[in-house]
Amino acid sequence: MTGTIFGIGVGPGDPELITLKGARLLGICPVIAYPAPLEGESLARRIAAPHIPNGRVEIVIRMPIEASRFPAQDVYARAATEIAGHSIAGRDVAVLCEGDPFFYGSFMYLFAKLANRYRVEVVPGVSSLTACAAVLANPLAARNDVFSVLPAPMNETDLTARLETSDAAAIIKLGRHFAKVRDVLERLELTAQARYVERATLPAQRVLALNDVDAATVPYFSMILVHRRRDAWL
Q: C-alpha angle 154/141/130, rounded to 5°?
A: 75
In single-letter form, the type of residue at position 140 comes to L
Nearest distance, CB of residue 205 and ligand SAM, angstroms? 7
Centre a 10 Å sphere on the Cβ of residue 15 and count the other Cβ atoms it contains: 15
* E-only strand ranges, 124-221: 147-151, 168-172, 194-198, 206-208
In single-letter form, the type of residue at position 85 comes to G
CB nearer ligand SAM, residue 42 or residue 128:
128
Whether 150 contacts 35, CB under 8 Å? no
Tell me the C-alpha distance between 25 and 123, whole Å.
9
CB nearer ligand SAM, residue 92 or residue 100:
100
Tell me the C-alpha distance between 112 and 225, whole Å.
30
Q: Does 92 bind ligand SAM (CB under 6 A)?
A: no
Q: Does 87 bind ligand SAM (CB under 6 A)?
A: no
Return the H-helix or E-strand segment holding 225. strand 222-227
Q: Which region, judged by CB under 6 A, interacts with ligand SAM, from 31-39, 74-82, 195-203, 225-233? A: 195-203
Q: Which region, judged by CB under 6 A, interacts with ligand SAM, from 25-33, 113-121, 181-189, 221-229? A: 221-229
Nearest distance, CB of residue 22 and ligand SAM, angstroms? 13
Q: Is 224 left (phi over 0), alpha (psi -120 to 50) or beta?
A: beta
Subset of residues 125 to 154 that bind ligand SAM, contact rule: CB under 6 A:
127-128, 132
Q: Does 13 bind ligand SAM (CB under 6 A)?
A: yes
Subset of residues 158 to 187 that bind ligand SAM, contact rule: CB under 6 A:
172-173
CB nearer ligand SAM, residue 103 or residue 118:
103
CB nearer ligand SAM, residue 173 or residue 195:
173
- Contact set with ligand SAM (CB under 6 A): 12-13, 98-100, 103-105, 127-128, 132, 172-173, 197-202, 220-223
